[in-house]
Chain A
């Protein structure tokens, strides 16, 4: 067994799988950085991803265009998270409960709509997923090439979003506004920043990214939709945001840790490592818990985290 683990092919395929499994978490986490920095904890990412995954698959299946499916998923993600935006910023609902509610609703809606459209079949319908695009020259580098430069286009986009997110957050007026409303909504209001608007935009950005993450699951990572396609990646993304202390670069590190633990447990199962597979399945979730325990105490949460803003309060 150990011979297998330390072979170059095993390593390469393990790392390649890490990237594939990290991508959806990365997408969702980058979006949630904005949402959470603005002071909103949206635990409904998981549900948004499920609904979007279903939308992406369905649209791709009928239109034959993966990109149309991908974009539809983003639109659906925005729409779905607008419910969260409304609940948290207009109705001032308790965000944790609103998010959990939207998760349950999302899982239900996705499988309901899927069954209306496709019915119950023994073999689920399939599409051709996003193909691998090998980047010229770069993909020829040993180990690094096949791992980093032999991926599908949505994966490349996710990686490009890291500097984009950083730039948005650190170098634009929008980023500073997001930080202000998360830190001190009353001050933001007094300074003429539209708190509800900024928070809504931040939630919708999170929704769009979660939509992309969902689309990735059903049209890039897999080529079909099942009810349990999104297995906690949304929650892991929320954990990654806290682990990364809201920094896009560190969100990549966090996503890779989760992607790696997921990939590892799959590979170990595949080669029959002699560990009960139920235990292996738990690995990514155990990593989540430990990552959170080790970092969340030191994480500096925005001061107005999960607190609704009401202007008239005395």
Chain B
């Protein structure tokens, strides 16, 4: 018999003037995986943070197994058997796996650590759910997928019945995602109930038993997942109208001139180890080269080297035929190399600044925005208004602080800055990560549009679908080496093995290395 694990009634939460949750009802049945679907800013995470005691709601009640409960803190939530795996991992890097798991799981009145006993328990639990972890490794030594496993283990340690996962697949590779879903099934078979927050429609169809859709802080519907539910149904529920999910790129690469050329490039990472090992490729004007690969195989270092942010150990970088090896970021900017960094919050934007100032970070010193060392406020303002209009940045105005924007709109601010004035080269690292569907489609369209205008694009993405949809050619990187360069529209089956390090049999362009 199915019974109800959690029921949330009429939950209202207000941030500033905006209701993040507006009288939301939510029901989780025991022993099921419940997808919580919605665009960024729809209030999914807010709702679950309320269930987990991180936020206090302005109104509404929570019932656990039929009884009304008051959850004022995560401690309380844990004691009630509710655990949460956050989108940004809650792990302390310099501590070991065991220490991290221990930190959240002290027994009552426990004073001594008893590391050995804990270590054994960690291994036992990992075995029970068929998860592989090394309890003595430090967090920073583990890959993102492994870190997530550690997070889940750490939450399971709390002896919970209800597991909340916030965007668990955002940082995972396709195979890691499959592994995660197998684990989730194991957990449900063990009697646990799971809420999975996501904005990815495929995942809901793939793994969820039921789905609740939030839009603008309101519950717009709840459905059982069966064969009759389609992606289109879910997407129109999620954004309120039909959207074309297939981006038909009418783009064709026309240019002949090579805009960006990399020869035998070798670069070290922050730890001083080789991150890029003699890689070579060319990008023509108006061409989009997709760089596929599992995160952390040298993509970040490549982007930094190509924008003058990271020293080059060996090899050359040519921009439009000129040798730019060893030049600094200012030189690259002046040569028309634009950069959309992976980490928009730390590297891409000054979060505490307004939109207008963020838009001119690269150009404040030019005649367009300053005169004799003084900023021309009116020009900066009108430029910002123009960009907000052109890139459809949703904000109260050009004075809005960037930190108050949603992730998608923050990304649009970066794109507006980087695509302004037709760059000759665009380096885009994960431009749509953590961005909702609508914004994702817009960002991809903007990238294609810029290449139609002659920009050479290096698109780095862990999202294979995106790479296949947009790229003219697809390079695959593994362990700092290019495994092969495939034509556009190659299939996942062709790309996948290269991502895992199988070198292509006939790799013409990398052979010289």
Contact = CB atoms under 8 A, between A and B. Distances in A.
Given A177-B103, A179-B92, A186-B90, A191 B111 contact: no
A183 B92 contact: yes
Interface in B194-243: none
A126 interface: no
Contacts of B78: 192
B473 to A, nearest CB: 40
A311 interface: yes
A191 B90 contact: yes
A173 B92 contact: no
Interface string B86-97: 101111111100
Contacts of B91: 184, 187
Contact of B99 (A176, A192, A194): A176
A180 B74 CA distance: 16
A288 B112 CA distance: 36
A170 B102 CA distance: 13
Interface string A103-138: 000000000000000000000000000000000000
The A interface, classified by DSSP as helix, strand, loop or mixed, is helix
Contacts of A176: 95, 99, 102-103, 113
B318 interface: no
B113 A187 contact: no
Interface string B128-147: 00000000000000000000
Contacts of B99: 176, 179
Nearest to B85: A190
A171 B55 contact: no
Contacts of A184: 90-92
Interface residues of B, number: 30
B512 to A, nearest CB: 40
Given A172-B111, A173-B112, A187 B90 contact: yes
B93 A174 contact: no
A186 B111 CA distance: 23
B95 A190 contact: no
Contact of A190 (B74, B106, B110): B74
Nearest to A182: B92
A187 B75 contact: no
A227 interface: no
A253 interface: no
Given A177-B103, A311-B54, A312-B55, A189 B113 contact: no
A193 interface: yes
B94 to A, nearest CB: 6
Contact of A180 (B92, B110, B112): B92
A27 B272 CA distance: 38
A109 B110 CA distance: 41
A303 B93 contact: yes
A190 B84 contact: yes
A191 to B, nearest CB: 3
The B interface, classified by DSSP as helix, strand, loop or mixed, is loop
Interface core residue of B54, B74, B111 (most chain A CB under 10 Å):
B74
A152 interface: no
Contacts of A190: 52, 54, 74, 84, 86, 90, 104
B94 A172 contact: no
A183 B90 CA distance: 10
A173 B111 CA distance: 5
A188 interface: yes
Given A179-B95, A183-B92, A312-B55, A189 B74 contact: yes
Contacts of A171: 112-113
Interface in B287-317: none
Contact of A300 (B52, B84, B94, B111): B94
B495 to A, nearest CB: 35
Contacts of B105: 191
A172 B95 contact: no
Contacts of A174: 111
Contact of A188 (B52, B55, B88, B103): B103
Given A173-B113, A190-B74, A183 B95 contact: yes
A171 B92 CA distance: 18
A297 interface: no
Given A171-B113, A174-B111, A176-B99, A192 B104 contact: yes
A191 B110 contact: no
Interface in A23-70: none
Contact of B74 (A175, A179, A183, A191): A191
Interface string B72-85: 01110010000010
A194 B104 CA distance: 11
Nearest to A184: B92
A232 B78 CA distance: 46
B74 A192 contact: yes
Contacts of B95: 176, 179-180, 183
Contacts of B94: 183, 300, 303
A32 B96 CA distance: 24
A122 to B, nearest CB: 53
A183 B96 CA distance: 13
B240 to A, nearest CB: 24
Interface in A176-227: 176-177, 179-180, 183-184, 186-194
Given A172-B111, A192-B104, A303 B92 contact: yes
Nearest to B107: A173
A21 B154 CA distance: 46
Interface in B469-501: none
Nearest to A191: B104
Contacts of A187: 89-92
B46 to A, nearest CB: 9
Nearest to A188: B103
Given A189-B74, A190-B104, 4 more contacts: A176-B95, A179-B95, A191-B103, A303-B93
A-B pairs, 9 with minimum CB distance? A191-B104, A187-B90, A183-B92, A192-B75, A184-B92, A180-B103, A190-B90, A173-B106, A192-B74
6 contacts: A173-B106, A173-B112, A174-B111, A190-B86, A191-B74, A191-B154
